[in-house]
C-alpha cells in the first residue's frame, strides 16, 4: 500500500508527458485524480494505524544486498501526519489555477514526480533510500521554478538548486560516516540503526557526522544564516510550487533532524542541543524582524517560514536534551511535529493566496494594494484566518503547536523561551500590518473591478482552512498519533 502511493504518481508523471498540449483541462483533471490516490491511501493508513512504538505497515525488499541497501518503507506517528499533509497539499496545488505557459503536461508531470519523491522521503526507512528521494526532490522543484516562475526565475531556481545540492552532498557524507563507523553492524537500515545505536556519543567521527548532517538539514529547513536561497525561490516561483516548497520540502529538513539526528545519534545530539536551540531562536527573531520590514507580500510570507521553522527546531533541540524531564521533551517534540503540519497548512494557504493577488494585480507590492476587503470578502476572510493562525491565535492550529513547544522549552531553556516569545509578538505585528495595508482603508480606483476568489481557488483552499480550525479546536486526534512517536523517542 505504501509503495503504491509512491509508484502511482511516479508512473503517471511519465505517462502525462505524452498528453497533447491543447487538452489542458483534461490533463489537470488526470493529474488531480492521480494525486488523490496517495491521499486516499494515507487516510487508509491513518485508519489502520495502531499507534504502538516503532514502525508499522513496513514493506521491505533487498535493493543492493552487497552493501546492505534495502528498499524499505513504513510509517510511525512522526511520518504519518507529514505524509497526509504532503498528499493534501499536492492535490490542492494541482487543482489551483495558474498560468501553465502552454506546457500543461510538463507542469503536471513535474508536480507528480515531485509528489512521488516527497512521499518516498517521508516513508523511507533506509538511509540511502532517504538520500535518493532527498536529492530527487531538488529536480522537480528546480524545473517548477525555472520554467513556470516569473521575475528572475532562472537565477532563483539555480540558487535554490546549488544551495540544497551542497547540503545534500554533506548529507551523503554523513550517511556514509554512519555506515563506516557502525562496526560489525554496518547497515543503512534505519530500523536496525535506531535499535542498536552503533555510533559512539563521543569522538571526532561522531562530531563530524553530526554536523555534516545538521548542516544539510539547516540548509533545507532553512535556518539562519543558511536561508538566503529561500526568499528569491519563493518570490519567483508559481504560487502552487511555493506551497509545496514551504509546506513539504522545508519539512524534509525538520523531519531529518528528528528521524536521523535525534533517533540515530541521540547522545551526540544531546551534546549540541543547546547551540542548535540558540540557532533556532536566532532564526525565530531574525525571520520575524526581516518579514516585518518587507513591502513585497510574498517575500513577507517567505521570511515567516524562517521564523516558524525556528520554532520547530527549538522544539526538536529541547527533545534532544537528555538531562531534561522526559515529559517536557515529549511535549516539545509533539509541538514541533504539530508545527510542521500547521505551518504546511497555514503558509501553504498564504502562498496560494499570494498567487491569487498576483493574478489580479500583477504585483506583490503591498503599497500598490489596499481596501480589498470591500471587493473580495472570500480572499479577505481566508487570509485573515491564515494570518491569525500563523501568529498563534488560540483556537487555530498555530497556537496548539507553539504552546507545546514553549511549554517544553520553559522547562529546559527558560531564557531561550523568553527570547523566542518575542518572535510571536513581532509576527503578530507584521501580519496585522499586512492586513491593514492590503485589505483595509480606501479602495484605489484601479481595483474597482477586482474579482474575488473563484470556485477552484476556494476549492483548493477550503480543506486547509477546515484543518487549521479543526486542529485548533479539537487537536486530540492529531496529538494522539504524534504522541505515539514522541513518547517513544523521548521515553516520556
| Contacts (Cβ under 8 Å, ≥6 apart) of 233 | 145, 156, 157, 159, 160, 245
Cα(321)–Cα(271) distance, integer angstroms = 8
Give the residue carrying C-alpha cell 509528489. Answer: 115
Sign of CA dihedral 30, 31, 34, 39: negative
pLDDT of residue 156: 93
The SS3 of residue 54 is coil
pLDDT of residue 22: 76
- For helices 79-95 and 2-15, the axis angle rounded to 10 degrees is 20
Beta bridge partners of 69: 64
pTM over 0.85: yes
pLDDT of residue 492: 61
With CA atoms as reference, report the closest residue to 408 among 259, 229, 280, 244.
280
Cα(248)–Cα(339) distance, integer angstroms = 13
Q: Which three cell numbers stand for residue 84?
A: 497526509
Measured over all CA atoms, what is the biggest interatomic distance in the chain, rounded to whole angstroms?
74
Distances (CA, A) of 317 to 53, 206, 232, 283, 427: 21, 17, 28, 14, 22
With CA atoms as reference, report the closest residue to 105 among 167, 55, 30.
30
The alpha-helical segments, DSSP class H, found in 237-373 are 239-244, 250-256, 263-264, 266-271, 273-292, 297-319, 326-361
Cα(480)–Cα(43) distance, integer angstroms = 16
Cα(365)–Cα(436) distance, integer angstroms = 13
For the chain (492 residues), the mean pLDDT of every run of 10, in chain order, is: 95 93 88 97 95 89 88 96 97 94 92 97 96 95 94 93 94 94 82 88 90 96 91 94 96 96 94 96 96 94 95 96 92 96 96 95 91 93 96 94 95 94 93 93 87 94 97 96 91 66
Cα(38)–Cα(40) distance, integer angstroms = 5
Query: In degrees rounded to 5, what are phi and psi of residue 319?
Result: -60, -25
| Contacts (Cβ under 8 Å, ≥6 apart) of 285 | 310, 419, 420, 422, 423, 426
Cα(228)–Cα(271) distance, integer angstroms = 28
Cα(401)–Cα(418) distance, integer angstroms = 17
With CA atoms as reference, report the closest residue to 313 among 242, 389, 261, 383.
261
Cα(477)–Cα(368) distance, integer angstroms = 43
With CA atoms as reference, report the closest residue to 244 among 151, 117, 132, 114.
114
pLDDT of residue 111: 96
The answer to whether 148 touches 100, Cβ cutoff 8 Å, is: yes
Cα(396)–Cα(389) distance, integer angstroms = 5
pLDDT of residue 197: 85
- Burial (0-12, 13-18, 19+ Cβ within 10 Å), 102: exposed
Q: Where are the domains of the chain?
A: 272-492
The answer to whether 167 touches 216, Cβ cutoff 8 Å, is: yes
Amino acid at each position: 500500500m505504501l509503495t503504491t502511493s509512491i509508484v502511482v504518481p511516479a508512473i503517471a508523471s511519465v505517462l502525462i508527458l505524452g498528453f497533447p498540449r491543447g487538452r489542458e483541462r483534461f490533463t489537470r483533471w488526470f493529474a488531480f485524480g492521480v494525486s488523490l490516490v496517495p491521499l486516499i491511501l494515507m487516510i487508509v493508513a491513518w485508519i489502520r494505524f495502531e499507534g504502538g512504538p516503532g514502525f508499522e505497515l513496513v514493506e521491505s525488499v533487498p535493493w543492493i544486498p552487497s552493501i546492505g541497501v534495502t528498499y524499505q518503507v513504513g510509517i510511525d506517528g512522526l511520518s504519518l501526519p507529514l505524509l497526509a499533509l504532503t498528499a493534501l497539499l499536492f492535490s490542492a496545488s494541482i487543482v489551483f489555477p495558474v498560468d501553465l505557459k502552454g506546457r500543461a503536461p510538463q507542469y503536471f508531470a513535474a508536480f507528480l514526480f515531485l509528489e512521488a519523491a516527497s512521499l518516498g522521503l517521508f516513508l523511507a526507512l533506509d538511509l540511502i533510500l532517504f538520500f535518493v528521494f532527498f536529492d530527487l526532490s531538488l529536480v522537480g522543484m528546480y524545473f517548477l521554478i525555472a520554467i513556470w516562475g516569473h521575475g528572475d526565475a532562472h537565477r532563483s531556481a539555480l540558487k535554490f538548486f546549488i544551495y540544497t545540492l551542497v547540503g545534500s552532498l554533506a548529507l551523503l557524507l554523513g550517511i556514509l560516516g554512519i555506515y563506516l563507523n557502525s562496526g560489525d553492524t554496518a547497515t543503512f537500515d534505519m530500523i536496525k540503526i535506531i535499535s542498536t545505536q552503533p555510533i559512539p556519543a563521543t569522538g571526532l567521527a561522531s562530531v563530524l557526522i553530526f554536523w555534516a548532517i545538521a548542516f544539510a538539514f539547516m540548509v533545507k529547513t532553512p535556518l539562519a544564516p543558511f536561508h538566503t536561497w529561500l526568499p528569491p525561490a519563493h518570490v519567483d516561483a508559481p504560487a502552487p510550487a511555493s506551497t509545496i516548497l514551504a509546506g513539504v520540502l522545508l519539512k524534509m529538513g525538520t523531519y531529518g533532524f528528528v528521524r536521523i539526528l535525534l533517533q540515530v545519534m541521540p547522545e551526540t545530539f544531546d551534546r549540541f542541543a543547546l547551540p542548535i536551540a540558540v540557532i533556532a531562536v536566532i532564526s525565530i527573531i531574525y525571520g520575524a524582524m526581516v518579514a516585518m520590514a518587507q513591502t513585497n507580500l510574498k517575500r513577507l510570507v517567505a521570511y515567516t517560514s524562517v521564523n516558524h521553522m525556528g520554532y520547530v527546531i527549538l522544539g526538536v533541540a529541547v527533545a534532544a536534551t537528555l538531562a531534561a524531564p522526559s515529559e517536557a521533551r515529549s511535549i516539545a517534540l509533539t509541538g514541533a511535529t504539530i508545527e510542521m503540519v500547521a505551518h504546511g497548512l497555514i503558509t501553504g494557504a498564504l502562498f496560494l493566496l499570494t498567487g491569487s493577488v498576483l493574478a489580479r494585480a500583477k504585483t506583490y507590492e503591498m503599497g500598490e494594494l489596499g481596501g480589498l476587503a470591500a471587493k473580495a470578502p472570500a480572499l479577505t476572510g481566508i487570509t485573515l484566518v491564515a494570518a491569525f493562525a500563523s501568529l498563534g491565535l488560540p483556537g487555530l492550529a498555530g497556537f496548539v503547536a507553539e504552546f507545546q513547544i514553549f511549554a517544553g522549552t520553559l522547562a529546559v531553556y527558560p531564557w531561550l523561551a523568553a527570547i523566542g516569545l518575542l518572535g510571536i509578538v513581532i509576527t503578530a505585528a507584521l501580519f496585522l500590518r499586512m492586513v491593514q495595508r492590503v485589505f483595509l482603508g480606501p479602495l484605489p480606483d484601479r481595483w474597482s473591478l477586482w474579482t474575488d476568489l473563484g470556485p477552484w481557488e476556494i476549492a483548493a483552499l477550503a480543506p486547509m482552512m477546515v484543518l487549521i480550525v479543526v486542529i485548533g479546536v479539537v487537536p486530540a486526534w492529531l496529538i494522539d498519533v504524534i504522541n505515539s512517536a514522541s513518547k517513544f523517542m523521548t521515553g516520556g
